[in-house]
């Protein structure tokens, strides 16, 4: 077993990184062993996943340590799903030296043999925490909203991914861009942005889109994946379709050996 590492990244907040990380990890864990890593000091992913909202025993900060005495012990959520949770102290990692990103990578790679997939929920800004995920991942999934800021944000992120690929992670691939919070009946602006994205990133834009629904915030409030909270909702089906599309893409792109 050697896990495929998927980072859910976009330096813009509120686009659905955490929602996607939770749901993708949850769906993958129905048939695979999955580790979900909360790499955002806000800890939203951790709060959504720990039913009783108790902090996990071992957290993501341990991945940024080079001290052998700090062991990485993810919280067991189910037989097939583990979580490295986090809290606001993760932000202090950015005050250490840049080398912490390499500590993250080597620690993460040492966990690889225990899982089929490792899913990383990234923070909403550029910096060490996002860099660590980018230098470690095999694939990036980019959730976006179809608004006018999406294009600028995407350009900056793709540039950052290109730089990471050149310097530190030559096999890093963008598995796809997924539009989230899309209105059931697309607005004129959404249609225009979608057309523009097709034009610029045709190969990267995924067919699956996640529509806007109160089922998503409700699922977070009940500490559940939407597939558990509302199994027959459109969003549950869309997330299942997204995982299928993602897997097909990763295979087609030639997953890592």
List contacts with ligand ADP (CB under 6 A): 13-19, 44, 124, 180-181, 210, 212-213, 216-217, 220, 235
- Give me the least distance between CB of 239 and ligand ADP, in Å please: 9
231 binds, among ligand ADP, Mg ion, none (CB under 5 to 8 A by kind): none
- The residue with its CB nearest to Mg ion is 18
The pair phi, psi for residue 23, each rounded to 5°, is -70, -40
Residues 6 or more apart whose Cβ sits within 8 Å of residue 66: 99, 103
Long-range contacts of 226-232 (CB under 8 A, 24+ apart): 226/19, 226/23, 227/23, 227/26, 227/27, 228/26
- Give me the least distance between CB of 61 and ligand ADP, in Å please: 19
Closer to Mg ion by Cβ: residue 44 or 60: 44
Contact positions vs Mg ion (CB under 5 A): 17-18, 44
86 binds, among Mg ion, ligand ADP, none (CB under 5 to 8 A by kind): none
CA distance 177 to 158: 11
213 binds, among Mg ion, ligand ADP, none (CB under 5 to 8 A by kind): ligand ADP
CA of residue 256 relative to chain centroid, distance = 18
- Give me the least distance between CB of 14 and ligand ADP, in Å please: 4
Closer to ligand ADP by Cβ: residue 212 or 253: 212
220 binds, among ligand ADP, Mg ion, none (CB under 5 to 8 A by kind): ligand ADP
- Give me the least distance between CB of 65 and Mg ion, in Å please: 23
- Give me the least distance between CB of 115 and Mg ion, in Å please: 21
Closer to ligand ADP by Cβ: residue 118 or 122: 122
14 binds, among Mg ion, ligand ADP, none (CB under 5 to 8 A by kind): ligand ADP
Measured on CA atoms in the order 165, 168, 169, 173, is the torsion positive or negative? negative
CA distance 223 to 45: 10
Give CA separation, 36 vs 22, 49, 111, 167, 190, in Å. 8, 10, 12, 26, 31
Whether 119 contacts 112, CB under 8 Å: no
């Amino acid at each position: 077993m050697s896990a495929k590492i998927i980072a859910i990244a976009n330096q813009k907040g509120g686009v659905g990184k955490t929602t996607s990380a939770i749901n993708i990890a949850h769906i993958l864990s129905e048939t695979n062993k999955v580790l979900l890593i909360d790499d955002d000091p806000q800890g939203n992913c951790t709060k959504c996943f720990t039913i009783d909202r108790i902090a996990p025993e071992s957290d993501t900060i341990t991945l940024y340590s080079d001290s052998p005495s700090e062991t990485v012990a993810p919280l067991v959520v189910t037989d097939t799903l583990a979580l490295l949770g986090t809290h606001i102290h993760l932000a202090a990692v950015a005050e250490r030296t840049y080398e912490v990103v390499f500590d993250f990578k080597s620690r993460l790679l040492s966990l690889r043999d225990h899982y089929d997939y490792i899913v990383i929920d990234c923070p909403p800004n550029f910096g060490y925490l996002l860099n660590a995920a980018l230098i470690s991942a095999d694939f990036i999934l980019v959730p976006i909203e179809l608004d006018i800021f999406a294009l600028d944000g995407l350009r900056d992120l793709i540039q950052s991914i290109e730089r990471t690929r050149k310097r530190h992670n030559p096999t890093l691939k963008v598995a796809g861009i997924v539009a989230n919070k899309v209105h059931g009946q697309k607005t004129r602006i959404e249609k225009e942005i979608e057309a523009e994205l097709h034009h610029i990133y045709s190969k990267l834009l995924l067919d699956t889109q996640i529509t806007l629904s109160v089922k998503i915030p409700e699922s977070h409030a009940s500490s559940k994946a939407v597939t558990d909270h509302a199994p027959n909702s459109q969003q549950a089906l869309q997330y299942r379709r997204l995982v299928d599309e993602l897997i097909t893409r990763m295979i087609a792109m030639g997953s890592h050996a």
